[in-house]
Each structure stands twice: as structure tokens, then as C-alpha cells.
Amino acid sequence: MNESRRSMVTIAAALLAGGALKPTGAWAQGAYPAKAIRIIVPYPAGGVVDSIARVVGERMGRQYGQPVVIENRAGAGGAIGTDFVAKSPPDGYTLLMVSPSHAVMPFFQKNTTWDPVRDFQGIAGFGAIPNVIVVHPGVKAKTLPELIRLAKKDAGSITYASSGLGTSSHLTGELLNQLAHVQLTHVPYKGQPEAMTDLLSGRVDMMPMSTSLALPHIKAGKLRALAVTTGYRSSALPEVPTVAEAADLPGYQVGTWLALLAPARVPKAIVSKLSTDVTDAIQLAEVQSKFKDLALEGVPQSGAAFDAFLKQEVSVWADVIKRAGIQASS
């Protein structure tokens, strides 16, 4: 190093030590997080994504000694809140909770400005909530193979409800159409409450929904469980087979997974710290107990592991959506 360069480095070091120069933003590295963190939930308060975010946020707040604020920015199937985070300052203080619609929203909305892989990076995957395929008791099918036989006998006669285009319940039904070679008629609703109302009244025949929401109605005899959609049985419904088991469809696997993401341009050191801290925290017994109450199961994933999983999800559903002939709306 020449003498001039050495002098500049010495002066800068002295100023930094004296406080004249300070690292800015999140790059006051020893201090991160130095202020409140926001977790954006792109759905209304009270849903399962919101509930999981609050469990995680509460634990992060205790761990970091900083407020972790859950902010609901709902609308456009999750696109509004997601767009907000994608365009937020890349300082590690604005994060995003996601579920399966994150992977498919650009296929359903032409005006989506963000890419689920390019514009985000994983902090942690939390596991998945198994969906369960349920039917109204009036449907003459007590097993999934019986439902498939009914659907094949009269194409389009069996209706299934979803909480909207691109939601987990929609894609669960569409994948069953393709792998079982049936033609179930999709009936989309504005949300899960409206879909549930019509299912319980018998206006629609079937719906794939989260086990946590379906369980009370199954126990009351108002709905009949045919199969769970994940690759493993649900601990909440251990007697109910998976779709793969019941209908001999080994390629069938769908669940309502949840994860925490950061914008893509957040420095890797910050994302790595968050990933390590959050992944460790969610494996604590107290957190896992709360997850279990919300029917969330499965093995937590590191940020890098979730990134790889998300790329696979985008690829799988892109193919399903293309084969279904579903067109994006403006």
C-alpha cells in the first residue's frame, strides 16, 4: 500500500472510531436489527398465514429485543402486499410471509410486476398444512376412488369449491383432475368462508381445504374426509389416507406451505443471520407446539433449502396451469 493510500485508510478508521463516520442502514452490522422489523402478510388478518406470521414474529421480537410488527396488506390474491415488499428498501427491515399462491400468482395476473424467484430470497420455510379433500355427506362416495369413479361416469357432474383462482384449494383440485384423468368442475369463490358456506349446504360437492378448518366439521359429521393431499398423513387425521395411497397416484402431493422471505437485494449477510436465527427459533418446542395447534407440520427449511423448493414449485405449477389451459387475467 502506498503512503497516500495508507494515510486515507488511517484517517477513515480514526473518524469511524470517533463516530464521525458511521455505517448506514442495516449495515451497522453488529447492530442488526437496530429497529423494528415489519413482516408483511399479503392477506387479511385472522387467516392461517397471518396466524403463523404472528407466532414467528413474537418469537423474533423476543430474540432480537426489537418490535416485530405484523402488517396486513391484502388484495389481488396477495399481489399487493408482495409488490410492496419487492419494492421496499433492501435493508432487512421489511419481510414477507408467503404461501403457495406466491409461486403461481404471475400465471394468473398479467399485470404482476414481481417474480417469485428473481425478486425474493428465502429466510426460512416453516412446513406445510395438509389439505384434506372433503365432500358433503350427500355425495355418494365414501372413499376417494369412489369419488373418482363417479366423476369418470359423468364428466363435469362433480363440483369442487375453492377460495379463488390460484389458491391452494384450486390447484389441489386441478392436479387431481390431471393425475386421475377426471373432469371435476371448479367453482371459485371470493374466499374460504363463502366456499365453506356453500359446501356445508350442499350447493357444491367437494372442496380441498386445510385440515385445521375442516376438522370441526368432519367431527360433527357435516363433512366427510376422503384423503389428505400431502405426501404424509396428517397427525390431526391419522386414519385418513393420503391421495397417493387412496387413489394410487404417487405423483400427487400438495400442501399449504408457509415461508418467510426477504427482497432479493437485501445483503446476504443479513439474510444469512435471519435464516440461522429464525430456523433455530422455529424448531423450539414452544414454537412447534403453536404450529401444531395451527395444523402446521413437516420439517423446517433453511432459506437456501426453501429457495430450491420454491423454484421446483414454480416449475411444477407452471406445467399444471399450462396443461389446464388457464389464462392470466388483466
Digit-coded pLDDT (tens) for 75-90: 887 889 999 999 999 9
Please give the model's pTM, rounded to 2 decimal places.
0.81
Is 107 a residue whose pLDDT tops 50? yes
Residue 135's pLDDT is 98
Residue 221's pLDDT is 97
Q: Which amino acid is at 103?
A: A
Digit-coded pLDDT (tens) for 244-281: 999 999 989 888 899 999 999 999 999 999 999 999 99
Digit-coded pLDDT (tens) for 176-219: 999 999 999 999 987 778 899 999 999 999 999 888 889 999 99
CA–CA distance from 166 to each of 104, 188, 313 (Å)? 6, 10, 13
Is 69 a residue whose pLDDT tops 80? yes
Q: How confident is the model at residue 166 (pLDDT cuts 50, 70, 90)?
A: confident
Residue 301's pLDDT is 95
CB neighbours (10 Å) of residue 326?
18
Any idea which of 10-19, 121-130, 196-205, 298-307 has the lowest mean pLDDT? 10-19
Cβ neighbours of residue 9 closer than 8 Å, sequence gap 6 or more: 1
Q: Rounded to whole angstroms, how far apart are CA atoms 311 and 122? A: 11
Which one of 3-12, 221-230, 292-301 scores highest in mean pLDDT?
A: 221-230
3-state secondary structure 65-134: CCCEEEEECCCHHHHHHHHHHHCCCCCCCEEEEECCHHHHHHHHECCCCCCCCCCEEEEEEEEEEEEEEE
Q: What is the mean pLDDT of the chain?
A: 88
Identify the residue whose cell numbers are 370441526: 216
Q: Which amino acid is at 9?
A: V
Reported in sequence order, the residue ranges of the chain that DSSP labels E, i.e. its strands, are 37-41, 68-72, 94-98, 120-135, 159-162, 185-188, 206-210, 224-228, 255-263, 301-302
Digit-coded pLDDT (tens) for 17-67: 343 333 333 333 458 999 999 999 998 888 889 999 999 999 999 999 999
Q: Rounded to whole angstroms, how far apart are CA atoms 61 and 56? A: 9
Is 115 a residue whose pLDDT tops 80? yes
Is 15 a residue whose pLDDT tops 60? no
Residue 30's pLDDT is 56
Q: How confident is the model at residue 68 (pLDDT cuts 50, 70, 90)?
A: very high
Looking at the chain, the whole-number percentage of residues with pLDDT higher than 90 is: 67
